[in-house]
Amino acid sequence: MATKKRKPRPTKKTSNQSIGKVAESVRNGLFQPKTLMLVATLVCSTFFFPLISKFMPDLNQRSEYRLKTAEIKIKNLPRWVPPNFLEQILDRAGLPEEVSVLDDGLTRQVVDAFQLDPWVADVVKVQIKSMPAELEMTLQYRWPVAMVAVKQGMYPIDAEGVLLPPAYFSVADTKRFLVIHNVRSTPQGPEGTQWGDDALTGAANIAEALADHWKNLGIVEIHVPQIKSADVEIEDLIYEMVTVGGSKIIWGRAPGSDHPGELQTAQKLGRLEKYREEFGSFDEPNGPYEIDIRHWQEISRRPLTAGRGRNLR
């Protein structure tokens, strides 16, 4: 019977020869002129660049890379923001009159300065160009949705209940916004921070929902419900609105409520529009009325004994 021949196993000598060939290849590659030059360049850069850089000109001080902070460009500045908006930001943050667009910390410095302003909700983008020196800001602004009537006066707020600077609003401006009544609290922080009252925040959310509708509907006020018991949850508060002719509209819970049976905001707005189309206004024909739009099947109303009016101008 024929036997199979076994293949000879590689000897240690053969293995050593292979290792030797690899080592020789590495040496040959390492000591090539191009490789040696690259290594020398890296070594020189590491040890000598810090010394050489001391004698190089400082580009940060070159005029073509310098920018006056008063010339910062701001995109889409809304009309309700004061005309000295940028000047206020620069003064508040203590930014220098001139900066270098090559400064690595410039973006962070500018972002921090703008985020301090009560009109700025967020810094969306900072675009810096070096030749010529230019800096452009894209911002997300806070916009007023209502005035809060308290004993101290009228305070503007945004849709999240953030206090806005009241100094830029005149008495006449109160007629350009919905007015929120029955607020017992006062602002808990400075301009640009939350009022600090969840019931007021709910009213602000309603004002935002009515932003494109309240004038046509003849609605002029939102009333914050009073919390008479510590057991009452904020999400269970029932808000009311008042029309120009004194009618009271029961809106229900604030937008975002997941209470069973609560209509969605779009459904409530649809109810209001439908009622106005059918009757002309919420005060006709023999108002003022109390109008409840919360029911699933119908809108209910009943006459009020007395009403009060307010003219829009």
The answer to whether residues 210 and 202 touch, using CB atoms and an 8 Å cutoff, is no
Tell me, what's the pLDDT at 53?
A: 45
For residue 92, what are the contacts with CB-CB under 8 A and spacing of at least 6? Answer: 113, 116, 117
Helix (H) or strand (E) holding 118: none
Q: Which residue, 79, 77, 82, is CA-closest to 92?
A: 82
Helices (H), the chain: 12-30, 33-53, 85-93, 106-115, 198-209, 214-217, 265-279
The answer to whether residues 87 and 116 touch, using CB atoms and an 8 Å cutoff, is no
The answer to whether residues 122 and 142 touch, using CB atoms and an 8 Å cutoff, is no
Tell me, what's the pLDDT at 228?
A: 72
Tell me, what's the pLDDT at 68?
A: 93
CA end-to-end distance (rounded Å), the chain: 118
- Quote the DSSP letter at residue 7: P
- Quote the DSSP letter at residue 175: G
Burial (CB < 10 A; 0-12, 13-18, 19+), residue 268, is: buried
Tell me, what's the pLDDT at 171?
A: 84
Tell me, what's the pLDDT at 311?
A: 38
Neighbours of 65 (CB within 10 A): 18
The answer to whether residues 123 and 101 touch, using CB atoms and an 8 Å cutoff, is no
Lookup: tokens for 23: 């080592």
Tell me, what's the pLDDT at 132?
A: 85
**pLDDT, one tens digit for every residue, the chain (313 residues):** 555 555 555 555 555 555 555 455 545 555 566 665 665 566 555 655 455 445 445 445 556 678 999 999 998 899 889 989 999 999 999 899 999 988 889 999 999 999 999 999 999 999 998 778 899 999 999 999 999 999 989 999 999 999 999 998 888 887 899 999 999 999 999 999 999 999 999 999 999 999 999 999 999 999 999 887 666 688 889 999 999 999 999 999 999 998 898 999 999 999 999 999 999 999 988 889 999 999 888 899 999 975 444 433 3
For residue 289, what are the contacts with CB-CB under 8 A and spacing of at least 6? Answer: 247, 248, 282, 283, 301, 302, 303, 304
Phi, psi of 183 (to 5 degrees): -90, 120
Neighbours of 267 (CB within 10 A): 12
Q: Which residue, 296, 284, 272, 147, is CA-closest to 222?
A: 147
d(CA 163, CA 148): 10
For helices 12-30 and 33-53, what crossing angle results, to 10°?
50
d(CA 181, CA 150): 7
Tell me, what's the pLDDT at 174?
A: 79
On the question of a cis peptide bond just before residue 285, with omega within 30 degrees of 0, the verdict is yes
Lookup: tokens for 171: 């008495």
